[in-house]
Amino acid sequence: MAKLSMFLERDQEKADKQFAVYDYNFMHAARYVAQGEFEKAAVHHRNLANA
């Protein structure tokens, strides 16, 4: 779990879910870049921007 103390108590669950989405997309984007799969990486980078 990420450090969520900067968020109000009522917003911490939502922030944790958003962080999980961001982390998922970041890790997949990095993996696809390393594999040279730039179109797939771009999809995850777009998702990062929208997270």
**Nearest-angstrom CA–CA distance, 24 and 43:** 12
Q: How many CA atoms lie within 13 A of 8 on its CB side?
A: 2
pLDDT of residue 44: 97
Q: pTM value?
A: 0.80
pLDDT tens profile 26-39: 999 999 999 999 99
pLDDT of residue 51: 78
pLDDT of residue 28: 98
